[in-house]
Amino acid sequence: MWLEVGYMFFGGLGVFFFGMKTLSEGLQSIAGDFIRKIVNALTTNRLVAVGVGALVTSIVQSSSVTTVMVVGFVNAQLMSLTQAIGVIFGANIGTTITGWIIAVKVGKFGPVFVGLGVFPYMFAKRSDYRAVGRIFIALGLVFMGLELMSGAFKPLRSDRGFMDMLVYFSADSVRSYLACVLMGTLLTCVIQSSSAMLGVTVALATTNVITYQTATALVLGENIGTTITALLASFGASSNAKRAARAHALFNLLGVLWLSPLFWKYLHFVDWLIPGNPDYVNAEGVKEYVASHIVMCHTMFNVLNTIVFLPFLQPLAKLVTWMTPPPKEKEVAHLRFLSTRIPVGSSTSLALATAEKELVNLARMVERTFLLSRRYVLSEKPYNKIFERVEKYEGITDSIQAEVTVYVCKLQEGTLTSEQSAKAYSLIRAADELESIADYCYALARYRNRLTEVQGQLSAEEQAELSAYMRKVYSLFRRVERNIGAEAWDMRDIYSRSRKLSEEGNQIWSAHKKRMEAGGAAAISGMLFSDFVVSLRKIRGHVVNLAEALSATPIQDS
């Protein structure tokens, strides 16, 4: 019997897991642009923050993803701690939507949902129709997984040893109630999915293996256990990011603590809200109404907890700040978003939005490298500290480019829409072009060192030409950099500016060649001047390639 229960349960759990993951991806493929706009908006009002958290989590079907994303925003100093806590409150409410999907009593019709979805998913030409088909297939798999788990648990009702063991988890006393909460917490920490644990809990209660109060106590523990994902994501992040993750854990833990003395009254309150006796068992030995009662317990816990703690948002922020003092040394975050380890498999749209934010971070780092190298090259007496900063920034850009590439490549291992695949390729290509620009900026600084070593000096005319050309190349870079994330690109303007820069570079080279032939420039300094111009022309080419990558324009000869 135990072997049959085991493979039926794990098989059902696997189908349920896959269904939830596919459902999340299908919803995101439809609402991806909307999600990106929501997560890019900073919330200034605590009620708006709660609403944003609830809405985004309802779409992505994972409070862990939303919370980890918020930890990333706090880590990058794009969201204050109090704003982040408000979004986390909302995420806890939004995740209850999953419970209501589970509670729908259509388990036997799971294959019908799969059948309805498979035809548009496989044969429709439009991507939005395929996404709808994918959602139907996912719903069918969720219901089929629940049905398999429920069937696996039915034989346990007649197993005396198993039922005797459950006496310790009956939640009819304070000791057994606490044991249930602890069990729910530990299992959710291991699985790292409160939705999966909720599905298991509902399946156990529906088949009359565990009681209604036992299931509710397990659900309260699951709310504590789900905070482990954000806590793990905060390792290595800034102090504020750790505070946001700990605020999430405290919020759920304190919620369970204040509700525990009122646990049995709370059950009566939910019974009053939801019709039907949760302990009613039909002729098939199934509790018909218990699923909706359990899910309502889950929902009301998060709603009431938010109502109770929302007025104390500032004190909660102060508490976690006290718990997590700032480090003795100033924190400098180079990899600002991807270091928070957002689970790429659980939210493609959010993961792409996060990678794009990291690309903006990389572009700003490249801009600082460009400005420092220009200052170093044009200075009358170059300082070693400036060169060291250029060298340091060039190394940082290498690291960020590698992280972005690895992260997006992992994304591409999953199921992406054609638009998401194009976006992923665009991000990889853009990161590579930015890293190449930083390499040539570092090369400019090295050429300036070489000029100093040979005690060479550019003429006033060469200095003026180089200064003007660097300024124009930088202007083109800034024009492209400011447009990262934009939907519309004026590539004609960029190509026009690039051609003018190319022609100007040729003119500078021709003028320099005539000076060399006339003996108006020293041999070594003349060669280094040529290297300066060639590097700047290379930067111009990579800037055009960057614009093509971001605008999804086919590669052209630049």
Angle at the Cα of 547 (from 543 to 553), degrees rounded to 5?
A: 135
**Residue 330's pLDDT band (cuts 50, 70, 90):** very low
Residues 6 or more apart whose CB falls under 8 angstroms from that of 293 comprise 212, 270, 271, 274, 276, 278
Whether the pLDDT of residue 294 is over 60: the answer is yes
User: What six digits make up the tokens of 204?
Assistant: 């156990």
First to last CA, the chain: 70
- Domain assignments of the chain as residue spans, ordered by start: 2-323, 348-550
Tell me the DSSP string of 288-348: SSHHHHHHHHHHHHHHHHHHHHGGGHHHHHHHHHHHSPPPSSPP--SS-SGGG---GGG-H
Q: Which of 130-144, 358-372, 394-408 has the highest mean pLDDT?
A: 358-372
**Range name among 59-73, 78-92, 103-117, 266-280 with the lowest pLDDT average:** 59-73
Q: How many CA atoms does the CB half-sphere of 505 hold within 13 Å?
A: 22
Q: How many CB atoms lie within 10 A of CB 500?
A: 12
Torsion of CA 444, 448, 450, 451, to 10 degrees: 140
Residue 287: strand pairing partners: 281
Contact between 26 and 135 under an 8 Å Cβ cutoff? The reply is yes
Measured between alpha carbons, how far is residue 159 from residues 5, 11, 152 in Å?
A: 12, 21, 13
Torsion of CA 87, 93, 99, 105, to 10 degrees: -130
Residues 6 or more apart whose CB falls under 8 angstroms from that of 225 comprise 184, 185, 186, 187, 188, 189, 194, 197
Torsion of CA 147, 150, 151, 157, to 10 degrees: -170
Select the more confidently predicted residue: 336 or 304: 304
% of the chain at pLDDT higher than 90: 19
Contact between 497 and 479 under an 8 Å Cβ cutoff? The reply is yes
Task: Give the pLDDT confidence score for residue 455 in this predicted structure.
Answer: 66
Whether the pLDDT of residue 438 is over 50: the answer is yes
Whether the pLDDT of residue 416 is over 60: the answer is yes
DSSP code of 554?
Answer: P
- Collapsing DSSP to helix, strand or coil, 281 comes out as strand
pLDDT mean across residues, the chain: 79
Whether the pLDDT of residue 344 is over 60: the answer is no
Please give the Cα distance from 270 to 124 (Å, whole number). 44
- Collapsing DSSP to helix, strand or coil, 114 comes out as helix
Q: How many CB atoms lie within 10 A of CB 119?
A: 12
Over residues 148-202, the pLDDT tens digits come to 776 666 665 555 565 555 556 667 778 888 888 998 888 888 776 777 788 888 8
pTM, full prediction: 0.63
Contact between 143 and 113 under an 8 Å Cβ cutoff? The reply is yes
Whether the pLDDT of residue 297 is over 50: the answer is yes
Over residues 98-154, the pLDDT tens digits come to 778 777 665 567 788 888 888 888 888 777 788 888 888 888 887 787 777 766 666
Please give the Cα distance from 219 to 213 (Å, whole number). 10
Helices marked H in 61-211 — which ranges? 63-75, 81-94, 96-103, 110-123, 127-153, 160-165, 174-191, 194-206
Q: Considering only CA atoms, which of 175, 184, 169 is closest in space to residue 214?
A: 169
Kindly calculate the radius of gyration of the chain based on its CA atoms and give it in whole angstroms. 30
Please give the Cα distance from 229 to 223 (Å, whole number). 12
Q: How many CB atoms lie within 10 A of CB 280?
A: 11
Superfamily of domain 348-550: Phosphate transport system protein phou homolog 2; domain 2 (1.20.58.220)
Task: Give the pLDDT confidence score for residue 68 in this predicted structure.
Answer: 66
Residues 6 or more apart whose CB falls under 8 angstroms from that of 203 comprise 12, 146, 149, 150, 152, 153
User: What six digits make up the tokens of 508?
Assistant: 């500078």
Please give the Cα distance from 488 to 475 (Å, whole number). 19
- Collapsing DSSP to helix, strand or coil, 78 comes out as coil
Tell me how long the chain is. 558
Task: Give the pLDDT confidence score for residue 339 in this predicted structure.
Answer: 53
Over residues 8-64, the pLDDT tens digits come to 777 877 887 787 777 766 766 666 556 556 655 555 566 777 887 787 777 666 666
Task: Give the pLDDT confidence score for residue 537 in this predicted structure.
Answer: 92
